[in-house]
Amino acid sequence: MARTSNVRLRVFRALAWAAPVAPLVWLGLRFRRDHLGANPIEAIILWSGVTTLILLMATLAVTPLRRLTGWNEVVRVRRFLGLTAFGYLCVHFLSYVGLDQFFALGYILDDIGKRPFITVGFAAFLLLIPLAVTSTKGWIRRLGRRWQRLHQLIYIAAPLGVLHYYWKVKADTRWPLVFAVILLMLFALRLRSRRGAGKASRPRRSEPVAADVPAAEAAPRGMPVEA
């Protein structure tokens, strides 16, 4: 059983590593074949933004997958997926700042203040910065349960990212709506699994209540309680 679990984890890790590499391969092939269209800069900005959303959805899917399947080892790839999503978000932001605006701070600030899709996108970027910074084991230990509350910001940043995409494309909103549906499904699965876990954890009359169980016995050391 343990061997099967290890093989399954290795396969899943290989897929997790392939997830951020595949978009780079796709962009390289498009660039080599000169298939980036009339506006390559716009194509790169869109590519990096969509990749960010895909990886964010994959990160958010880890907890529902663990709770639905009972496969706890899957959480080992969550931090990697989250940091990779933030990496692509940085590429997305720097492509806009450098390639599109040529680091013109005045124009960038004007865009952020006057164009709603850039405003919400920039807000999502700011919300994800502290999550990326505090993703290390050291920060998890230092913050304790505050780490959980801080990392709940992803549930604000992800919808803002989808809204940013929806407002950006204007006419063809099919893919932003697909992301919105996926996000709603992930939120619904999370709420459902949490309610089920809450009912299952209610003690019977003959069982000790949660307050009687020492915190050190309630959860394994080094494993942060999920947000």
Look-up: residue for tokens 């920039």? 122
> What kind and span of H or E run contains 226?
none
pLDDT bin (cut points 50, 70, 90) of residue 195 is low
Query: pLDDT tens digits, residue range 102-147?
Result: 999 999 999 999 999 999 999 999 999 999 999 998 999 999 999 9
User: Above 90 in pLDDT, residue 31?
Assistant: no
Q: Give the distance, in angstroms, between the CA of residue 42 and the centroid of all CA atoms in the same chain.
A: 23
For residues 193 and 64, the answer to whether their CB atoms sit within 8 Å is yes
> Which of 6-20, 32-46, 90-104 shows the lowest per-residue confidence on average (mean pLDDT)?
6-20
What is d(CA 66, CA 72) in angstroms, rounded to the nearest whole number? 6
For residues 137 and 222, the answer to whether their CB atoms sit within 8 Å is yes
- Structure confidence at residue 160 (pLDDT): 98
For residues 89 and 128, the answer to whether their CB atoms sit within 8 Å is yes
- Structure confidence at residue 13 (pLDDT): 77
- Structure confidence at residue 182 (pLDDT): 96
Type of residue numbered 13: R
- Where do the domains of the chain lie, and which CATH numbers do they carry? 2-197 (1.20.120)
User: Above 60 in pLDDT, residue 189?
Assistant: yes
